Amino acid sequence: MNWPLVSKMLGHLSLLIGGAMIVALPWSFPMFGQAVSFERQSFIGVLESIGISVVVGLMLQFVGRNAKDSLLRKEALAVVGLGWVLSGILGGLPYLLTPTYRVEGVSLSVPDAMFESVSGFTTTGASILTQLEVPLGIADCEAAANDGLIAYIPRSVLFWRSFTHWLGGMGIIVLFVAILGQLGAGGKALMRREVPGPIADSVRPRIRETAMLMWTIYLSFTVLMTIVLCGQGMSVFDSLCHTFGTLATGGFSTRNASVGAFNNVGMEVTITIFMIAAGTNFNLYYLLLRKKERQGGKPITRLGAFFSDPEFRAYLCIIAVTTIGLSAILLMEKTYATAGASLRHSLFNVVAVMTTTGFGTEDFAKWPEFSRAILLLLMFVGGCSGSTGGGVKVIRFLVLWQVLKLEADRAFRPNLVRPLRLAGSRMDESVGRDVLVYFCLIAMIFSTSWAGLIAMEPADQWAGETSAEKLTDCAGAVAATLNNIGPGLGICGPHGNYTAFSECSKLLLTLLMLLGRLELFAIIVLFMPGFWKNQ
């Protein structure tokens, strides 16, 4: 392992995280009826966080000052895995150094801060904070902060919390590659581990151009959505935070009731459209922008290539079919009085779960059991490869289906020689093998983590609940964190949170978030002794 080079790269990343915290500082300035003394403390806390991040970055760069070799596969894996862990640690500093409370009068612990920070960067949206909305009136705010009567979250922390979504959505390593640019083949190795999905081919020959293009599209969506939400009546603060959570498919909100607090159909439609867009492979947007040769003096866009993509079509089909089915169930069960209300809440929550965003308009934990079962299954599907969404990814299910069909044919025709194909294109046999391995690993991690979470949770923590409720709550928590969704079932549903879990359980769930975001191997290798040998 080339430790000086890894240290140098991690130093750059630490400086990037420290610089990103600067955007949270203006929200500490006394305005909008905030508590002056309270926000002053948060301003100082964020400044201290920036200072610590810069010092850590400079120290790591000093250690790696003589690094000259190029970034190879092993070092790229180390930078991605350790980089995300380091980002989670540094990103948790504002929660620890500002007056942020988990519950009434109880400050955040180190596992709490790590959980919230990693949840933000991995775009999971799981939270241990119970009271998000700022009380109105300076006197009330100061009294609450001084007496510790309610959980009060400084606006700077709320903004940083949502901004970590935005950074992690397209990928902090992708941003890192876009800024540095001199990594060459090492940058390509980093991108392969950062961009989710089994097929992460570059859309441009040069990897820096790819990273810059992805972030340009991402930034354009951000500006557009913020303007639309502001035009629909959201404040600038709420618009930015909900835009970050939507495009990163994260789901952190500034309201206790999430998007449902606004009770605005127009806003829900806007967020739904952009959630679908964020769950789409960003390579397709490049195809949409790319132009063919001119015919008759007019450029021809690649709409055909965009809508003919098999993963994108399957993605839209799953959303449509599930929404219609769920709407019918809710209407038959009389969960909602009208078909319009059933369709409205079904569509929003299906898209929120499918894209792993996790926003909520209703508490689906109270829906009929079959409806909740459908949503639990959607948690494992996720968005498209190359998107900001989490989950297993639609493309893997398509490949798995083709592998199963091929193996079924070979069961009664053992001499059959036929390549693995998807949408008419031939795939390498290794793709099918990798997908099968991934599914097996997901199943193993889910089952062992579920059992481990049940074992770690003390019995008195679940007093008054049946064993079935504890099993459901733990299963929902594991599925929601491993697939980077956020809200699960039961106590960690859309209107709940993860506060009730013990600190050991929170550390396990934090690890699951990292595993899900980096698609397992960039984190798994960190626990293998052979990975660290100088070979």
For the residues of 475-507, what is the DSSP string, one character each? HHHHHHHHTT----SGGGSTT--STTS-HHHHH
Q: Which of 348, 318, 349, 346 is nearest to 331 (CA)?
A: 346
φ and ψ at residue 426, rounded to 5 degrees: -75, 135
Confidence at residue 146, expressed as pLDDT on a 0 to 100 scale: 47
Q: Position of tokens 């989950």?
A: 391
DSSP 355: T
pLDDT for position 208: 63
Q: ∠ CA(151), CA(513), CA(261), 5° rounding? A: 40
Residue 100's pLDDT is what? 82
Q: Give the C-alpha separation, 392 to 88, whole Å.
A: 22
Helices 36-63 and 3-20: angle between axes, nearest 10 degrees:
160
Please give the pLDDT value at position 32: 45
In the block, residue with structure tokens 């035009």: 231
- Tell me the CA distances in angstroms from 417 to 201, 264, 414, one per residue in order: 27, 56, 9
**What is the per-residue pLDDT for 33?**
44
Q: What residues are paired with 107 via a beta bridge?
A: 101
CA 406 to chain centre: 34
For helices 429-456 and 503-517, angle between their N-to-C axes, nearest 10 degrees: 170
- 298 strand-pairing partners: 295
The pair phi, psi for residue 272, each rounded to 5°, is: -60, -45
pLDDT at 59: 94
What gap in Å lies between CA 418 and CA 524, rounded to an integer?
34
Looking at residue 2, its pLDDT comes to 79
Provide the residue-wise pLDDT of the chain in tens; the chain has 535 residues.
778 888 888 998 899 899 999 999 888 876 544 455 667 788 888 999 999 999 999 999 988 888 776 777 788 788 888 988 999 999 999 999 988 877 766 778 899 999 999 999 998 988 888 777 754 444 444 444 444 434 468 888 999 999 999 988 877 666 656 555 545 445 555 555 555 555 444 444 456 666 777 888 889 999 999 999 999 999 899 999 999 999 988 888 888 888 888 889 999 999 999 999 999 988 888 777 765 544 444 444 566 667 778 889 999 999 999 999 999 999 898 888 889 889 999 999 999 999 988 888 887 777 888 888 888 888 888 888 888 888 888 988 888 888 888 888 877 777 777 777 776 677 777 788 888 888 999 999 999 999 999 888 877 666 555 555 778 888 888 988 998 888 877 788 777 788 888 899 999 999 999 998 887 888 888 888 887 776 5
First to last CA, the chain: 7
pTM, to two decimals: 0.86
Helix axes 207-231, 172-180, angle to 10 degrees: 120
For residue 272, what are its two tokens? Answer: 């739904």
How far apart are alpha carbons 269 and 237 in whole angstroms? Answer: 19
Task: Find out whether 523 and 514 touch, Cβ atoms under 8 Å.
Answer: yes
Q: What is the distance between the alpha carbons of residues 511 and 475, in angstroms, rounded to a whole number? A: 15
